[in-house]
């Protein structure tokens, strides 16, 4: 039997373990072997595990790999489009759909690589995308994304999005980017069968994700919930992002968004919602009781002036809350560690400095996000967890004089990793991805 290659990641400058694990238990490092974390080494201690390699990590603060739980990768091609600048959500969407209707396969492949590389360079080891634009010729969009992400080497959750209500039926998107409901459901079942992995350490998973209440029919919402239950996959959609959405639901369905969600069979633990801003206290209680997951998107919510997600209220009610950068056309960045800082700053405006700490927001980006995705094997530095680790170099000017290295990652504005490990494999070293040349990608 081949001996395990156990790597001791020794003497980190700082470590954030996440979850319930005490960071002091790993202050002298982490031992990684066979894709997992096999030992934590406390202060002044040596590993009990037989070590085959030692890596000095004194220049790095180490965190669990960050987990982005909501994005629209194709939007990386349309950042700061002049016609869409300085607009709230609905007018912003109407402007950009006129561009997005021209999306093709080569564009989506490049956009997927670009968004994933940006996320990984900023500490993400698990990425999530919500793709819902399917013009003619892009029927196999999810297949294109799977192929692209295999080259990147990250974990991924791809949500098979859908839109069935075009402009002629009272929806927002052009009729050329929507699909009929039979096509949507058949392809949803196909991509789950083809790509969804259920084993521990899964690298690729699929969820089902009608875009929003204003772009699909009630029947498709109900049928997608039934299909997700039969296939045992998660459900995802946008909800509670703007007050315009609330008004639309009342006008179109005679009820508020959470009532509409319940009427469609979505108010359950397998569901996670992007944004979750405009809910009443009673609705928050209902969401928490159902253990619904939340993708908190602070930068996008600020840029579109949508509002502030009530994260602590949602957590207190029983919701799982994770962090997301959202689409690059409403954030104009896919930087995960910078999103952690945005969350800290934004949420302190609502809850105060004592309630929102670096740990609070790093938890959203790690263990909280893993809980939303029903992944107990990632999001924490603990024995038995997958060896997904982000290494942030602390030798930049912005970290001079730092007292608390983990707080510094958030407050001093870390923006890129020196190293990134996924499933025990070095994907990024010395700031360079092992398979992707960023200059070639930018040229594409």
2: confidence class by pLDDT, cuts 50, 70, 90: very low
Statement to judge: residues 294 and 423 lie in one domain: no
Enter the tokens of residue 277.
């801003």
Is there a domain that residue 271 lies in?
yes
Statement to judge: residues 58 and 99 lie in one domain: no
State the average pLDDT over residues 77-95.
89
What is the C-alpha to C-alpha distance for residues 364 and 298, in angstroms, rounded to an integer?
12
- Going by C-alpha positions, the residue among 270, 283, 275 that lies closest to residue 372 is 270
Is there a domain that residue 363 lies in?
yes
pLDDT score of 170: 74
pLDDT score of 403: 94
- Is the pLDDT at 88 greater than 90, yes or no? no
Average pLDDT over the chain, rounded to an integer: 95
pLDDT score of 152: 97
State the average pLDDT over residues 13-38.
94
- CATH number for the domain harbouring residue 335: 3.20.20.140
pLDDT score of 1: 32
Q: Which of 18-27, 38-47, 57-66, 400-409 has the lowest mean pLDDT?
A: 18-27
Q: What is the pLDDT of residues 285-318, one digit of tens each?
A: 999 999 999 999 999 999 989 999 999 999 999 9
Statement to judge: residues 396 and 297 lie in one domain: no
pLDDT score of 188: 98
Is there a domain that residue 11 lies in?
yes
- Going by C-alpha positions, the residue among 433, 396, 410, 388 that lies closest to residue 60 is 396
Statement to judge: residues 362 and 386 lie in one domain: no
From 337, 372, 407, the end of a domain falls on 372
Please give the residue range of the domain that contains residue 193. 66-372
Is there a domain that residue 178 lies in?
yes
92: confidence class by pLDDT, cuts 50, 70, 90: confident
Statement to judge: residues 11 and 88 lie in one domain: no
pLDDT score of 331: 86
Statement to judge: residues 201 and 348 lie in one domain: yes
Contact call for residues 294 and 283 (beta carbons, < 8 A): no
128: confidence class by pLDDT, cuts 50, 70, 90: very high
- Is the pLDDT at 214 greater than 90, yes or no? no
User: Which tops the pLDDT comparison, 215 or 56?
Assistant: 56
Statement to judge: residues 29 and 44 lie in one domain: yes
Statement to judge: residues 102 and 164 lie in one domain: yes
Statement to judge: residues 108 and 232 lie in one domain: yes
- CATH number for the domain harbouring residue 53: 2.30.40.10
pLDDT score of 424: 97
Q: What is the pLDDT of residues 369-424, one digit of tens each?
A: 999 999 999 999 999 999 999 999 998 899 999 999 999 999 999 999 999 999 99
pLDDT score of 276: 96
Statement to judge: residues 55 and 140 lie in one domain: no
Is there a domain that residue 1 lies in?
no
Enter the tokens of residue 341.
């800082």
Mapped to the 3 state alphabet, what secondary structure does the chain carry? CCCCCCEEEECCCEECCCCCCCHHHHCCEEEEECCEEEEECCCCCCCCCCCCEEEECCCEEEEECEECCCCCHHHHHCCCCHHHCCCCHHHHHHHHHHHHCCCCHHHHHHHHHHHHHHHHHCCEEEEEEEECCCCCCCCCHHHHHHHHHHHHCCEEEEEEEECCCCHHHCCCCCHHHCCCHHHHHHHHHHHHHHHCCCCCCCCEEEEEEECCCCCCCHHHHHHHHHHHHHHCCCEEEEECCCHHHHHHHHHHHCCCHHHHHHHCCCCCCCEEEEECCCCCHHHHHHHHHCCCEEEECHHHHHHCCCCCCCHHHHHHHCCEEEECCCCCCCCCCCCHHHHHHHHHHHHHHHHCCCCCCHHHHHHHHHHHHHHHCCCCCCCCCCCCCECCEEEEECCCHHHCCCCCHHHHHHHCCCCCCCEEEECCEEEEECCEECCCCHHHHHHC
Is there a domain that residue 358 lies in?
yes
- Is the pLDDT at 263 greater than 60, yes or no? yes
Helix axes 89-100, 243-253, angle to 10 degrees: 80
Q: What is the pLDDT of residues 140-177, one digit of tens each?
A: 999 999 999 999 999 999 999 999 988 888 777 888 88
Enter the tokens of residue 377.
């094997």
- Going by C-alpha positions, the residue among 267, 245, 312, 328 that lies closest to residue 68 is 328
Statement to judge: residues 161 and 115 lie in one domain: yes
User: Which tops the pLDDT comparison, 426 or 172?
Assistant: 426
**Number of domains observed in the structure of the chain:** 2
Statement to judge: residues 152 and 237 lie in one domain: yes
Is there a domain that residue 281 lies in?
yes
State the average pLDDT over residues 60-82.
96
Q: How far apart are the first and last CA of the chain?
A: 45
Is there a domain that residue 2 lies in?
no
From 351, 372, 393, the end of a domain falls on 372
Enter the tokens of residue 235.
């459900």
**pTM of this structure:** 0.96
From 372, 403, 422, the end of a domain falls on 372
What is the C-alpha to C-alpha distance for residues 264 and 123, in angstroms, rounded to an integer?
36
- Is the pLDDT at 274 greater than 50, yes or no? yes
pLDDT score of 279: 96
- Is the pLDDT at 3 greater than 70, yes or no? no
Contact call for residues 139 and 128 (beta carbons, < 8 A): no
- Going by C-alpha positions, the residue among 325, 375, 362, 405 that lies closest to residue 120 is 325
């Amino acid at each position: 039997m081949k001996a395990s290659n156990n790597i001791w990641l020794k003497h980190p400058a700082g470590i954030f373990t996440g979850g319930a694990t005490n960071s002091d238990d790993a202050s002298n490092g982490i031992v990684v072997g066979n894709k997992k974390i096999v030992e934590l080494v406390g202060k002044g201690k040596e590993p009990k595990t037989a070590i085959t390699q030692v890596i000095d990590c004194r220049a790095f603060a180490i965190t669990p790999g960050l987990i982005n739980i909501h994005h629209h990768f194709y939007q990386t091609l349309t950042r700061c489009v002049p016609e869409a600048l300085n607009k709230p959500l609905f007018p912003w969407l109407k402007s950009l759909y006129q561009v997005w209707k021209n999306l093709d396969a080569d564009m989506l492949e490049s956009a997927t690589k670009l968004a994933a590389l940006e996320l990984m360079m900023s500490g993400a080891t698990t990425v999530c995308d919500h793709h819902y634009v399917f013009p003619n010729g892009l029927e196999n969009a999810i297949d294109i994304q799977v192929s692209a992400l295999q080259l990147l080497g990250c974990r991924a959750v791809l949500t098979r999005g859908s839109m069935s209500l075009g402009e002629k039926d009272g929806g927002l998107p052009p009729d050329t980017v929507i699909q009929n409901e039979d096509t949507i459901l058949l392809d949803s079942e196909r991509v789950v069968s083809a790509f969804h992995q259920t084993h521990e350490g899964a690298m690729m998973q699929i969820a089902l994700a009608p875009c929003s209440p204003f772009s699909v029919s009630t029947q498709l919402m109900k049928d997608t919930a039934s299909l997700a239950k039969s296939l045992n996959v998660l459900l995802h959609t946008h909800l509670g992002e703007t007050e315009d959405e609330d008004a639309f639901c009342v006008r179109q369905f005679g009820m508020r968004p959470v009532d509409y969600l319940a009427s469609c069979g979505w108010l359950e633990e397998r569901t996670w919602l992007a944004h979750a801003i405009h809910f009443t206290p009673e609705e928050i209680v209902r969401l928490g009781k159902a253990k619904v997951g939340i993708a908190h998107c602070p930068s996008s919510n600020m840029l579109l002036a949508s509002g502030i997600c009530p994260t602590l209220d949602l957590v207190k009610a029983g919701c799982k809350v994770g962090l997301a950068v959202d689409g690059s056309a409403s954030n104009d960045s896919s930087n995960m560690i910078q999103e952690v800082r945005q969350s800290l700053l934004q949420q302190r405006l609502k809850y105060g400095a004592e309630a929102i700490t670096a740990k609070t927001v790093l938890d959203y980006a790690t263990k909280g996000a893993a809980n939303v995705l029903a992944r107990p094997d990632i999001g924490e530095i603990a024995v038995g967890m997958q060896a997904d680790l982000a290494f942030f170099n602390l030798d930049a000017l912005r970290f001079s004089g730092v007292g608390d290295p983990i707080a510094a990652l958030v407050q001093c504005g870390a923006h890129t990793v020196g190293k990134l490990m996924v499933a025990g494999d070095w994907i990024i070293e010395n700031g360079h991805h092992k398979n992707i040349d960023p200059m070639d990608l930018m040229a594409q």
